[in-house]
Structures are given as structure tokens and as C-alpha cells.
Structure 1
């Protein structure tokens, strides 16, 4: 029964992706990648939420609570909650910039605002480099969740099927497909999490078992610094992922974005049930289980088979939507920004080819490079959050030398990467926040210096 329900859900997602075409001209690049900037509040809400809540909701969050208890719960909830007011003010600025420059990618914003081809290349390379692990992690999570739910097919079969589905979504209607499929995904994911939480609560002594799993945290000064700086840094970067920025390009108006941002915190109701489930697992099973399987193992023990199929369907679509959206970001960064002179048709077909390459590479990475993927996942925020100073300058329509933004961006990426990979003790301060501080300092310093008579002979000039 569980596998039948699972197959029906995936079939429904394909029908939805096909229906999302709606007679639109998907040969036009702006419709294919940014839906001609015509998404209303509901679709934008589900698309942005789809980028924010991936398979980590079912794996990393309850697994982190199972391992680390209350401190992990406070950190995770804290940065997600803070990210929404950041997005409320930042996302409309991005939309206003998109209206001025008509971009397809985040690299377009930097090139057109700062009039710098080298800055466009730099932003494209950083975005691609730090998005590669995202696909690897989605395939790893997809395989882990489905096998944990009792799907005994080999990992490569599950990943190949996932890659085919993700590519099919994008080929059917571009960005519209993951947006519409996200409606199904989020509905199922939310329903599955709430059902598991309620089932735990209804178990004999379920609530008392969960209370037994709650620890009394003791925070050192280092712990507080670590939690505070992690929350600040990751909240600043959550909506700077290239796929998140691209989702803002699709909105009809800044008011549409603000309405979506106001509604997004309501989605966090699921965390209450995930927390209950995770603490129940701590109290009921004790240490020694695989953290990433905690939610899945609990669900299998207490749910009926058809509900297991619902959980599997929601989990699979969580990974597939992120994979499809990432393909629609990496493709144009290569064919539109790094390669010049291609027609719109060539850009679209080239992006689809790159999507296949990206999916295959991600599958291989998930199979052979799990340790590298885990390390790069920690680096992802270090890289992508460094877009913040440049995005603020673009969004506020300010003037700054292209060389200042490029120098800050390079410094901001290198410092946390070196600190993290070399194991330097930062006293509990997030290395990415250190890099971001140096990034902003360099941009401000070089901008002030250039305004005091130094000509900008750097990359290509200042904003036109």
C-alpha cells in the first residue's frame, strides 16, 4: 500500500508539472527561467518555501535535536525565524533591482549594475561552486529517506529515477513546474509531519516520553557566541541562495513578496511537531540510532502503511523540487553568463544539457564523495552569504566601484573557507561572519577611497 500511494503522488506531480505549462511560450528565456515575472503571492510563497525547506526538515533538524538536544533546537529555530524579517526587507529590494535590469540570474544584477563583465564571471563562478554540494546532498537525502521508509531498490536506481523526474519537471515548463509541484510537496510534507507528531502524542505515555528526552542545557560563553553568530550569519544568507533570488524575480510586485514573507512563518507550525517527535525518539530509543533516520524510523513504527507512502511522497518531492530549481539556476549561469553570444534558444537548450550534466555529477558525488559533500555543505553559506554587500548596493541603487565589490567578495569567500578547512579556532564566532565583516569593510573602504579622487581603473568601472 505504501508504495502504491508513493507512485500515485509522483504521478500526480508529473501531471501538475505538465498542467503548469498553461499554454505559455516556454521557448522564451524569461518565461522559462523567471516565469515572465508573473507569479502571484500563492505561487511565490510555495516556490520560496520549497527552496527554504528541503529534505533537511526531515533529516537534519530532528537528527540534530536527537544528537544535541535543546541547544540545536534553539539555534535552528532562531536563524529561520530571524531570516523572515530579513527577507521581508531584502527581497523587495531585489525585485526592484530586477525591474530595473531585467535579469535572468543573480550574476546579471551584478554585471548590469556595476557595468563589469569580470564581476559577472566572478559571481557566476562563486554561485556555481557553492551550489554544487546542494544537489549532492539532495540525492544523498533522497536515497536515505526512501531506503529508510522501506524502498529496497539500489541507491543508483533511486537516484536515477529522481534525476529523471527533476529533469522532466524543468523540461516541461521551466520554473513554473517546481513552483506548482511545491504546492503538492508542501501540503504532503506538512500533513505527514503533523500526523507523526499527533501519533506520538496519542501513544501511551508518548508525551511523558518526549519530556524525558528534553535535556536541561548549560551554555558556556563559547556556546552563546557560537549560537548568536550562527543565527545572525545564516539568517542573513538564507534568502541569498541563487535559487531563492531567482524566485523573487518571478513575483508580480514587491507587495506580492511582502505578503508571501508575512505568511511564511506560519509554515513553521511543523517544527512544533518535529520537535515533539525528536524528543520522543530521544526518550524512547536512547542514543545509538542514526540521527538522520530518527523521524523516518519513528514514522515507520507508529504509522499505517498508506501514511508511510504519504511521508515518502512528501520527502521525495522535497528533494526533487530543490534539484529542479537548482538546475534552473546553474544552467543559465553557464549558458547565459559565462558563455556569451548564444541565442535564447541555444541558451535554453544548453541549460537543459547542463542540467543533465549537473544531475549526473550530483549522483556521482552522492555515491563516491559523501565526506566532501558534507564539508562543502558547511561551506555553502560561507560562499553565498558573501553576496550580501553587493546585493544591498544593487537593491538600494547605490554607487560603488566594481573592484571594491569584487575585492570584498573574494576576501569574504576566502577567509571563512581557509579558517574552516584549516581548523582555526575562532573562539566560537562563525567564520562566515568574520568573512562577511571583512567583505563589507573592504567595500566601504575602497568606495570611500575612490570618491576621494582615485579613478576606478579596476575591473570595468562603476555603475552606469
Structure 2
């Protein structure tokens, strides 16, 4: 019965992917940003599809299961704060996309600051730090299928997931993951709510779940130390700042029909967070309901194993389908984002008429690389997963300067970003070094510390080596109206 329900969910997703071809066109703009035609509902679904990945079902409950409430606080907090920042920032990014004909975040950097160096720096760092993201989704997919007891071989699951993601993208570009997210979100929301409700019912109430977990683990699961609180606060602020620095979320913004649509969607984005109380309850229930204690990486399967124990087989198949689509949709977004950056910003001189073919080629290569790493070297890049957020967020300083119109040279922004990236990799790999030990002892997020250094470099450079010909900030241009925006529009993007 598990396989039957699972297959039904995947078939519905295939149908949605095929449906996404309706109304699609052959131009590169339609393939990468949906022809800038997405309305509020499709934007809402696409945004959630890119944000709530396989980590929602394995990483978050696994972290709460293993580490308690401290993990849940920062995970929930940064997404909610990120939505607040997006309400203000995303419309400016959309205006920049329209002004410069941008389809990637490096496109915006090149157009606004007129700098190939800054464009290339942002593009290369985005690609390097997001290479592990594909392996994360496929490895998470394998863990979810195994935890749910789905009788599918781990290698078959990874190969099928990569193949489906590639198929969806080759069908219609950005439209495919947006349409597939309709099916994915229904399965995800139903699955998480039902697991939480089933656990509460079986335990005799939510209070009984938390009391049983406290009795088994002590107060460590329900309280936070000073260093844990510091880590939660620095992580919330840091990751919220970098929320829209990820390439696939930038493309979702560019896909909007208008800036007004983005503000409409931002008001309702937090509704997706209503599933997290059910995930928290389920994670605490797993502490006492699972027969054996899960240690290390095995804790990531806590929710999946609980689901297999408290839900009937046909609902477990629904959860399995939602988990698979979570991995596939985010894999789609990552592959499309990196394919766009390689074809438009790293490899020079590819005409727009050939970019669609180039993006497709990069997508296939990226899927193959992710699949090989997942199957042959599953632990090699997983050690760098955390650095994806650490490194990608360093590029957020570029867009802060763009919005506020700082008089800063593009070279200074590039230098600050590179220094932040190098520092975060050094501190992450040198865990026993004095600086890393200091951050660990005091609960300081190393990505946030590197971002502060990055920002200091930019601030010093802004005053010591100011730009000779500064570009007005988008905030002031938007306030001045359409005529001011048109004056900044390059001729080639009109």
C-alpha cells in the first residue's frame, strides 16, 4: 500500500510537470524566469517549493530530536525573519531585474555596478558553495525512503530523483518546479500535520509527549544555555539576511509579474510555518516512541521512522511522496539557478538564442555530478553542506549596497565577499583552532562573524576608496518614480 500511494503522488507530480508546458514559450526569459508572468498564487507556491526542502522532513525534526528546543528556535526564527526582510527587499530586487533585464543575481550585480569582476566573483562563489546542495537533496531522499520503510533501493531512489528533476526542468524550465510544487505542498502539509496528530493521539495529548521526553532526556531538550541562545540569535539574523541571496530564490523573485505581487505573497508566506508545531510535537514524540535511540546522522530519520509507526501504510506512502518531491523540487531550483549562472555569467559570450541549450547542458552535468557524489562519495561534500549558507550569504552585502546606493567601488564589494568566504571556510575546517574554538565556546555563528568582517571591509573601502561615479540606490530611485528608473535602464535591456 505504501508503494501505491507513493506512486500516485509521483504520477500527480508528473502530470503537473506536463501541464506546466501549457503557455510556455521558447525564449530564454520564459525558461529561466517564467516570462516574468507569475501571479501571486504561483509565486506563493514556487517560493514555498524552493524554501521547504527535504531538510524540512529530515533535518528540522532530526535536529529537534537530537538537540532539543534550541535547534527549533533558530530554524523557525530565521525563516520568519527572512520573510519580513523579503517584504521590504524583494520588490527592489524585482525592479532591478526589470531595469537590467536580469535573470540571475550576478546579472543584477553586473547591471547595477557595471562590473564584470563583481559579476564573476558573485557567480563563481554561488556555484562553488552550492555544489553540495544537490547531493544533500539526493542523500536526504535516500534517508527518507529508508526511514519510512519504502522498499526502494537507495541507488534507485537517487537515480530516479535526479532523473525526474532533470525531466521537469527540460520540459519547461522554472514553470515545472512551480507546478510540481502544488502536489508537493499538499503532500508535505498533509503528511506533517497527520504525523503530529497521530503522535498526539497515541501519546494521549501533547502535554504527555513533552513530559515523557523531559523525563527521558532531562531539561536539556526543553531549555537553552547562554551559548545556545547566542548561536540561535546570530544564526537567525545571519541566515535571514542571506535568505534571498540564494540563486533559486532570486529567480523566483524575477518571475513575478509585478512588485506588488511580491508584497502580497510576503503577507501570506508565514502561513506555511503552521506545520512546524506539528513537526516539533512529532520530534519530541520520537524521543520516547521509537524503540531505539538514534545517534549521529541516524537522527535525521526520526520523523520518518515515527511516521511508519503511527500512520497506516497508505498515509506513509503520502509522506514518502511528499519527501521525494521536496528533494526533487529544490534540486530543480538549484540546478536551474546554477545552470543559469554558468551560462549567463561565467562562460562569456553565449548569445541568448543559445543560452537555453547551454543551461540544459549544465543542468544535466550538475545532476550527473550530484548523483555520482551521492552514490560513490556520499560523505565527501556533506561535510561542506553547512558552508553553503555561510558562503552564499556573503554576497548579500552587494545587494544591500545596491538598494541603499552606497558610494562603494565594485572591487571593494568583491574583495569583502572573497575575504568573508575564505574566512568561513577556514574557520569551518579548522574546528580545533583558537578562533573556531572561541566561536564554539561562545555560541557565535561563524558565518555571521565572517559577514561582519566582510561588512567592515566594505565600510572601510567605502570611505578610504569611494567610487568616483556612484550609482543611485534603488530605494531612492523607486521613491522618485518611473522616470528615475527609466533613466537608469540600459539600452540593451529596454
Matches within 5 A, 1:33-432: 33-205=32-204, 207=206, 208-214=208-214, 216=219, 217-285=222-290, 288-289=293-294, 290-423=298-431, 424-425=436-437, 426=439, 427-432=442-447
1:445 is aligned to: 460
Distance in structure 1 (CA, Å) of the matches to 2:330 and 2:300: 19
Contact 1:197–1:273 (Cα < 8 Å) also in 2: yes
Q: Shift of residue 147 of structure 1?
A: 2.3
Of 137-146 and 385-394, more deviation after overlay is shown by 385-394
Q: Deviations over 1:75-129 (max 9, x none)?
A: 2222222221112112112111112111111111111111111221111110101
Q: Shift of residue 344 of structure 1?
A: 2.6
Distance in structure 2 (CA, Å) of the matches to 1:82 and 1:210: 27
Q: Shift of residue 157 of structure 1?
A: 1.4
Distance in structure 2 (CA, Å) of the matches to 1:420 and 1:362: 22
Report the 3-state secondary structure (helix = DSSP H, G, I; strand = E; otherwise coil) of the residue aligned with 1:22.
coil
Q: Shift of residue 454 of structure 1?
A: 11
Distance in structure 2 (CA, Å) of the matches to 1:343 and 1:117: 17
Contact 1:366–1:373 (Cα < 8 Å) also in 2: no
Distance in structure 1 (CA, Å) of the matches to 2:80 and 2:393: 17
Contact 1:96–1:395 (Cα < 8 Å) also in 2: no
Instruction: Give the TM-score normalised by the residue count of structure 2.
Output: 0.88
Q: Deviations over 1:173-212 (max 9, x none)?
A: 1100101111110111001111111111221535313432
Contact 2:91–2:263 (Cα < 8 Å) also in 1: yes
Distance in structure 2 (CA, Å) of the matches to 1:408 and 1:199: 50
Distance in structure 2 (CA, Å) of the matches to 1:37 and 1:336: 17
Distance in structure 2 (CA, Å) of the matches to 1:5 and 1:219: 40
1:460 is aligned to: none
Distance in structure 2 (CA, Å) of the matches to 1:396 and 1:386: 17
Q: 1:37 to 1:396 in 2, by over 3 A?
A: farther
Report the 3-state secondary structure (helix = DSSP H, G, I; strand = E; otherwise coil) of the residue aligned with 1:371.
coil
Q: Shift of residue 145 of structure 1?
A: 0.8
Instruction: Give the TM-score normalised by the residue count of structure 1.
Output: 0.94
Q: Deviations over 1:231-256 (max 9, x none)?
A: 11112112221111111010111221
Distance in structure 2 (CA, Å) of the matches to 1:239 and 1:183: 22
Distance in structure 1 (CA, Å) of the matches to 2:450 and 2:379: 24
Contact 1:210–1:283 (Cα < 8 Å) also in 2: no
Distance in structure 1 (CA, Å) of the matches to 2:469 and 2:314: 69
Of 395-404 and 112-121, more deviation after overlay is shown by 395-404
Contact 2:83–2:270 (Cα < 8 Å) also in 1: yes
Contact 1:210–1:282 (Cα < 8 Å) also in 2: no
Distance in structure 1 (CA, Å) of the matches to 2:224 and 2:282: 24
Q: Shift of residue 414 of structure 1?
A: 1.1
How many residues align? The count is 456
Q: 1:220 to 1:36 in 2, by over 3 A?
A: same
Q: 1:204 to 1:119 in 2, by over 3 A?
A: closer
Of 29-38 and 73-82, more deviation after overlay is shown by 73-82
Report the 3-state secondary structure (helix = DSSP H, G, I; strand = E; otherwise coil) of the residue aligned with 1:409.
helix
* Long gaps (5+) in structure 1: 456-462
Distance in structure 2 (CA, Å) of the matches to 1:307 and 1:223: 36
Contact 2:54–2:326 (Cα < 8 Å) also in 1: yes
Q: 1:141 to 1:396 in 2, by over 3 A?
A: same
Distance in structure 2 (CA, Å) of the matches to 1:270 and 1:412: 34
* Long gaps (5+) in structure 2: 471-488
Q: Deviations over 1:284-314 (max 9, x none)?
A: 3376223111111111111111111111111
2:13 is aligned to: 13
Distance in structure 2 (CA, Å) of the matches to 1:9 and 1:367: 25
Report the 3-state secondary structure (helix = DSSP H, G, I; strand = E; otherwise coil) of the residue aligned with 2:381.
helix
